[in-house]
Amino acid sequence: MRGPHNIFRLIATGATLERTGAMRVILDAFEAPRLLRIVLRGLTWPVQWLGDRGDLTMPPATRALTALGPAYIKFGQVLSTRPDVVGAELATQLRVLQDKLPPFSLREARATIESELGLKADDAFEHISEPVAAASIAQVHKARLRETGEDVAIKVLRPGIERAFRRDIDAFYFAARIIEVLSPSSRRLRPMEVVAHFEHTVMGELDLRLESSAASEFASNTAKDEGFRLPQIRWPLSSRRVMTQTWAEGISFGDVEAIEAAGHDRRRLAARVLELFLLHALRDGMFHADMHQGNLKVAPNGDIIAYDFGIMGHIDEYTRRVYAQILYGFIRRDYRLVAEVHFEAGYVPADRDIEEFSRALRAIGEPIFGMDASRISMGRLLAYLFEVTERFGMETRTELILLQRTMVVVEGVARSLDPHMNIWQAARPVVEDYIRKSLGPTALARDLGRTAQVLSRFGPKLPELAQRALIAQSEPDPPPPKKNRVPVFLSGMVLGAVLLGLGLFAGQAL
């Protein structure tokens, strides 16, 4: 319930960050200004006794986010991929959130498997191991099929995970509502819609049947992609809270030393993971939206193996073309083109100055080109980008949230392998190929063909629709409505009463 009781949840969040020492660590990582530090520490220090101490064997930030729950762990997973934003030390500490969280017992996992699949675990599997990986939502066990002897991975949801996420999301909604009320300027960022988008994404991740379906579709889309493969779903042994897939053997992307020791080309892997993300997003409109190190492996032959398909991104053809043109403009350093695309897509209000916006974009893009990636401060770059969006009244585009978030994560993964990688050079071949195929004469002919197909489906109805339109035009215009004799001030009172009633109802709902 999104009521005022969530105030205590938010207070407990700040208290936990303070009690574990994570507040200081996070403020240091983000180089927070002195005034902000004083305000936040002043609010949380007196109530720190309300916070959770967490697992004392963990570093402060990891301990705090783990104690706060799965939604906060998701946030930590994103930060763990960005050492250039939060620093190498904090990123390394947070990396355990990807797949090394405290597991639940094998006994509980077997009970879930049996209740979900409606059979005895020993009838289907020769052996089920202790957890080999444990993340925020589920954990994975290695097993062997009794019938075929094939090694498989069994993913099992954590007990009570649905309730835990609901509690966190309700608190996020409450915080977003407070932000909108206290800071009207923040409404352009659509905090309520952002939380709703996060809720939709997470709730889909809590149904493993949807993940199995997404994995199957993703496998079909990428079947011909060189150097990339996915585990196969075993449908008879999968359900809402259990998913069984073929075992993927390889080195985790998080173990950079082992990757190098095995003789794999780190620079090539870094470029390839970025290329694959862009290829899937632009070509297919469906991409793996949780591509952190814990969900990627390097096979012995050098192939990239992706798994954990709980969060998949989808973007329509129009948005893909807009996104590609924006990237293309930055790659070509054509900031006027980038500005025009933003205005044409409605991302920037039409009353703003396009030339001024173009110059602001140049100030963002130019420092990147010709500079070693290790010298670029992504923290300062993102801060300036945020200033630009605020200055030009750009609203948050919820359809792009997952795409932008994944781009940040993938870039972080790539840079962990090759700190000197230039993301624009790596992205250029994929983006240019998509632009050539989607905006040229062939693409125009394809679009016209699709339009003709849609019209052909409505062919039998076209005569009837035309007849209705002609009849509607020939009918006389209806008489003007009678004027309302209710005084204007009374109408205003009625409207005010309705709005007041809705406000009270909304307050009760919160």
Catalytic residues: 290
Q: Give the closest residue to 54 by CA, choosing from 8, 94, 16.
A: 16
Q: What count of Cα atoms within 13 Å lies in the side-chain half-sphere of residue 96? A: 17
Q: 């401060």: which residue's tokens? A: 377
What is the rounded distance in angstroms from the CA atom of residue 357 to the CA atom of residue 353? 6
Distance CA 142, CA 133 (A): 10
Cα distances from 454 to residues 451, 459, 463, 467, in angstroms, run 5, 9, 16, 20
* Amino acid at position 403, single letter: L
Is residue 322 within 8 A of residue 330, CB to CB? The reply is no
- Beta carbons of 317 and 413 less than 8 angstroms apart: no
The β-bridge partners of 243 are 155
Tell me the HSE value of 44 on the side-chain side, using a 13 A CA sphere: 24
241: buried, middle or exposed (CB in 10 Å: 19+, 13-18, 0-12)?
A: buried
Residue 146 has what DSSP assignment? T
Query: Which long-range contacts (C-beta less than 8 Å, at least 24 apart) are formed by 338-342?
Result: 338/365, 342/394
Q: What single DSSP character describes residue 282? A: I
- Do the Cβ atoms of 291 and 308 come closer than 8 Å? no
In the block, residue with structure tokens 């999968």? 238
Q: Specify the DSSP class assigned to residue 245.
A: E
Residue type, 208: L
CB atoms within 10 A of CB 65: 29
Q: Residue 489: is it exposed, middle or buried by C-beta count within 10 angstroms (0-12/13-18/19+)?
A: exposed
User: Percentage helix, strand, coil, to 5, in the chain?
Assistant: 65, 10, 25
CB 56 within 8 A of CB 96: no
Longest distance between any two alpha carbons in the chain, whole Å: 85
Backbone angles phi, psi at 105, to 5 degrees: -75, 155
CA dihedral 78, 82, 85, 87 (to 10 degrees): 110
Tell me the one-letter amino acid at 342.
Answer: H
